[in-house]
């Protein structure tokens, strides 16, 4: 018989505790059961869908890189890497015991590890190559070595990248200086040591939230400052042939092409032949952009593919004429090697920019697949090319060039892999004109699909999208590939014997036709769609939906339409911010006051400023100044303006002069205003009811966008965090104190009289 001392401890527990313990165990069992059922469902889905790891691993790698840019602080980067790594290790350890869920184990563990590797890679590169910017704007005497020279005759200037040392700290810097043509020196080529006096500024952060971040680009390019030369360039030590033969050949070809083909057509021909876009004037470049043809101006996949394909075809035919070679060597392999050399040579000749290198890598992979008898166009090939690019240039993931080029290639591969399209393109017995119509229809369909794939990217980065781009490309791409580029190549070849003039004439005529097409398309009503800045969340919906549509097969790929549809609804409901304030406080844009026009505080001579304000407001119309509005009250120093938003009237007070004002009058005007915006420091006595965006605030936040319906405020600083390229806007020198008048927010007599 058991003694009382031998009774188990649980028997002495109260009944309520035992009931709670049993309920807890029951809930735990239910959670485990549901988790197991969920994993079973995921396992069945992956098995049925034919999960291909290679494309998804590339997506995870890019996702880790993108997460590093989106996350703001070091502890978040560390947490992301640690969470991915430990989750993958834990997943493998838990599921290895019984061998269940092999697809889930392999898929999630590999994706998590690759995402962690992507985050760690871009963080490492940022720390290694990032160049801290100069502390503030100023005039400096630069003495250093010319690393790059880019001639831009259409803008009447030359751009030099100079390796110099900071005069204060002695640290090495790379500085980009724009030199007017009349201040240029002939000997200021790569390898020369020059001296020039220039006004330098730190690489500019985004002017407004959602704008182009040149500071980030300059960080990864190793640029510490940019500026403009104030005097002539003095060549201290000539280059003496130190610059590379490729650079000399590139410049020589570019000059020869522009001399042979006049006008902007010559600038485009030079871009095709040598990658030099400096001869294309801004008006034609804008027309090419608005018509969806601007991709033709940068050496990328189309140009590299055309060169490699032409070399492959010609080499295969020429080698086939040699019976001895045909019997002893596999001709596709030999032709692939010849085409690869041509592609690499063309890439080097055109400057070996990142988009060109990326295109060359993809084309070389296609050649390798052709040489060994594999499928040349596949998502695995695209994934390998993306991996190679991301390993060397991880920062390219957040740039439009990388996103657009790979989105276009993925769209082409997926479209041609669809069963209906394969059936439509199957060779058959038919008249030649029917075959041509089928090919033309396929070309139009491919263009439409590519435009649909690129439209969210264009809206996110450039806040615009071309409507007629697909139709324009149906004409422009064959014209460029089969007419313009071959004629340029033949002209350069026949110039060796002085017989290239007819080919130059034909190349010029074809490029004039291209420009005429661009101008005509861009002039059509509704040719360009402008929208306000799209948020990262909306863009992520389009990316996730597009990748799901592309990387799955069967009916399950249609689930990708759900996030795309949500993204489209979000885009359709976008509205521009009510106020846009630049980081220095000098430029203010106000929407909704004039039909189709943006109201600005002051006129700007800078096209960059006008373009940023218009694009981020989703407008492309003319601008008008605040003082032209009948309800505005302006003095030489300030403007007061009432705005109806969100069911109430907001009183704005905006500084536009350079003189200090009488303190009491300013305090009174601020107290009668809801929002005060100034490019100067305002005293503490200036206390508006809602926001004081003066120099003190803007130096911490950068540019602002303000939605008065919320109200809600977005700042440039909130998206920067501890990334190395972020530096607060340079404070302006304090203005001298003087007496001036300020209009009251409610319309003081002094302000109204002064405004008249």
Q: Which residue has the tokens 């601008």?
A: 623
Strands (E), 537-637: 579-581, 588-594, 597-600, 623-625, 633-634
Which pLDDT does position 755 carry in this prediction? 31
Least confident of 371-380, 502-511, 639-648: 371-380
Question: What architecture is domain 138-243?
Answer: Beta Barrel (2.40)
Residue percentage of the chain with pLDDT more than 90: 21
Is residue 349 very low, low, confident or very high in pLDDT (cuts 50, 70, 90)? confident
Is residue 419 very low, low, confident or very high in pLDDT (cuts 50, 70, 90)? confident
CA distances from 617 to 247, 587, 621, 653, 721 (A): 41, 13, 11, 21, 25
pLDDT tens for each residue of 187-204:
888 888 999 999 999 998
Is residue 3 very low, low, confident or very high in pLDDT (cuts 50, 70, 90)? very low
Which pLDDT does position 754 carry in this prediction? 32
Q: How far apart are CA 200 and CA 232, in angstroms?
A: 15
Average pLDDT over residues 312-321: 86
Which pLDDT does position 198 carry in this prediction? 92
pLDDT at 625 over 70: yes
Which pLDDT does position 161 carry in this prediction? 92
pLDDT tens for each residue of 119-129:
999 999 999 99
Mode of pairing for the β-strands spanning 623-625 and 597-600: parallel
pLDDT at 658 over 80: no
Greater model confidence, 170 or 318: 318
Written as one string, the DSSP assignment of 515-530 is HHHHHHHHTSTT-EEE
Of 113-122, 286-295, 691-700, highest mean pLDDT: 113-122
Average pLDDT over residues 269-277: 82
H-helix segments, 587-686: 607-616, 663-671
Strands (E), 499-645: 528-530, 579-581, 588-594, 597-600, 623-625, 633-634, 638-645
Which pLDDT does position 30 carry in this prediction? 56
Average pLDDT over residues 523-539: 83
Of 341-345, 450-454, 544-548, highest mean pLDDT: 544-548
Which pLDDT does position 20 carry in this prediction? 65
Is residue 693 very low, low, confident or very high in pLDDT (cuts 50, 70, 90)? very high
Which pLDDT does position 748 carry in this prediction? 37
Residue 223 has which token pair? Answer: 């640029």
Least confident of 208-212, 400-404, 524-528: 524-528
- Are 294 and 285 in contact by the 8 Å Cβ rule? The answer is yes
Is residue 259 very low, low, confident or very high in pLDDT (cuts 50, 70, 90)? confident
Which pLDDT does position 245 carry in this prediction? 75
Residue 450 has which token pair? Answer: 């590519």
- Are 488 and 269 in contact by the 8 Å Cβ rule? The answer is yes
Half-sphere exposure (Cβ direction) of 615: Cα atoms closer than 13 Å = 22
Residue percentage of the chain with pLDDT more than 70: 87
Closest listed residue to residue 550, CA positions, set 709, 736, 414: 414
Phi, psi angles (nearest 5°) of residue 111? -65, -40
Average pLDDT over residues 277-301: 79
Average pLDDT over residues 378-407: 89
- According to DSSP, the residues that pair with 148 across neighbouring strands are 161
Is residue 544 very low, low, confident or very high in pLDDT (cuts 50, 70, 90)? very high
Q: How far apart are CA 546 and CA 403, in angstroms?
A: 12
Least confident of 157-171, 303-317, 607-621: 607-621
Q: How much is the mean pLDDT over the chain?
A: 82
């Amino acid at each position: 018989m058991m003694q009382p001392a031998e009774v188990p401890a649980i028997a002495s527990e109260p009944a309520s505790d035992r009931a709670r313990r049993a309920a807890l165990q029951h809930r735990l069992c239910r959670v485990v059961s549901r988790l197991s059922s969920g994993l079973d469902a995921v396992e069945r889905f992956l098995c049925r869908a034919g999960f291909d790891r290679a494309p998804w691993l590339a997506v995870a790698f890019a996702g880790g890189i993108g997460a590093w840019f989106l996350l703001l602080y070091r502890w978040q980067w560390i947490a992301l890497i640690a969470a991915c790594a430990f989750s993958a290790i834990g997943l493998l350890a838990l599921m290895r015991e019984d061998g269940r869920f092999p697809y889930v184990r392999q898929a999630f563990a590999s994706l998590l590890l690759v995402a962690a590797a992507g985050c760690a890679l871009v963080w490492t590169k940022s720390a290694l190559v990032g160049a801290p910017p100069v502390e503030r704007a100023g005039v400096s005497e630069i003495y250093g070595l010319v690393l790059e020279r880019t001639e831009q005759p259409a803008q009447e200037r030359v751009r030099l990248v100079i390796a110099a040392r900071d005069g204060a700290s002695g640290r090495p810097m790379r500085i980009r200086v724009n030199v007017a043509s009349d201040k240029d020196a002939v000997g200021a080529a790569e390898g020369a040591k020059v001296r020039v006096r220039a006004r330098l500024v730190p690489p500019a952060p985004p002017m407004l939230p959602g704008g182009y971040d040149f500071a980030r680009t300059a960080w990864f390019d190793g640029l510490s400052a940019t500026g403009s030369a104030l005097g002539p360039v003095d060549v201290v030590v000539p280059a003496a042939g130190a610059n590379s033969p490729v650079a000399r050949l590139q410049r020589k070809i570019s000059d020869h092409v522009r001399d042979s083909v006049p006008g902007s057509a010559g600038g485009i021909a030079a871009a095709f032949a040598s990658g030099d876009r400096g001869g294309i004037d801004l008006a034609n470049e804008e027309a090419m952009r608005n018509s969806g043809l601007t991709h033709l101006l940068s050496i990328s996949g189309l140009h590299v593919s055309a060169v490699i394909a032409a070399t492959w075809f010609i080499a295969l035919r020429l080698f086939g004429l040699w019976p001895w070679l045909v019997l002893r060597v596999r001709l596709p392999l030999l032709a692939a090697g010849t085409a690869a050399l041509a592609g690499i040579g063309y890439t080097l000749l055109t400057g070996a920019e990142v988009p060109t290198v990326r295109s060359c890598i993809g084309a070389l992979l296609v050649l390798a697949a052709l040489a060994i008898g594999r499928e040349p166009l596949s998502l695995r090939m695209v994934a390998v090319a993306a991996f190679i690019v991301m390993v060397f240039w991880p920062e390219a993931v957040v740039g439009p060039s990388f996103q657009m080029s790979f989105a276009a290639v993925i769209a082409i591969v997926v479209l041609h892999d669809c069963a209906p399209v394969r059936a439509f393109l199957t060779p058959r017995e038919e008249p030649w004109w029917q075959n041509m119509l089928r090919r033309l229809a396929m070309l139009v369909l491919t263009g439409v699909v590519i435009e649909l794939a690129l439209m969210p990217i264009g809206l996110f980065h450039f806040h615009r999208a071309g409507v007629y781009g697909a139709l324009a490309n149906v004409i422009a791409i064959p014209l460029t590939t089969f007419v313009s580029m071959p004629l340029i190549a033949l002209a350069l070849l026949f110039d060796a014997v002085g017989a290239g003039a007819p080919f130059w004439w034909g190349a010029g005529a074809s490029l004039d036709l291209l420009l005429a097409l661009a101008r005509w398309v861009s002039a059509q009503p509704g040719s360009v769609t402008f929208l306000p800045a799209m948020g990262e969340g909306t863009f992520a919906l389009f990316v996730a939906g597009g990748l799901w549509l592309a990387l799955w097969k069967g009916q399950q790929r249609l689930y990708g339409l759900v996030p795309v549809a949500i993204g489209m609804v979000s885009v359709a409901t976008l509205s521009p911010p009510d106020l846009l304030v630049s980081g220095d406080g000098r430029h203010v844009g106000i929407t909704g006051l004039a039909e189709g026009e943006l109201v600005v505080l002051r006129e700007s001579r800078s096209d960059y400023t006008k373009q940023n304000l218009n694009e981020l407001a989703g407008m492309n119309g003319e601008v008008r100044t605040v003082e032209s509005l009948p309800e505005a009250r302006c003095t030489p120093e300030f403007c007061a303006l009432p705005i109806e938003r969100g069911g109430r009237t907001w009183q704005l007070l905006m500084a536009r002069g350079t003189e200090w004002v009488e303190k009491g009058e300013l305090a009174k005007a601020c107290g009668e205003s809801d929002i005060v915006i100034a490019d100067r420091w305002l005293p503490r006595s200036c206390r508006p009811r809602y926001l004081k965006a003066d120099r003190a605030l803007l130096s911490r936040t950068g540019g602002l966008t303000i939605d008065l319906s919320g109200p809600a405020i977005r700042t440039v600083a909130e998206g920067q965090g501890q990334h190395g390229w972020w530096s607060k806007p340079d404070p302006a020198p304090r203005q001298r104190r003087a007496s001036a008048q300020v209009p009251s927010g409610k319309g003081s007599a002094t302000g109204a009289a002064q405004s008249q």
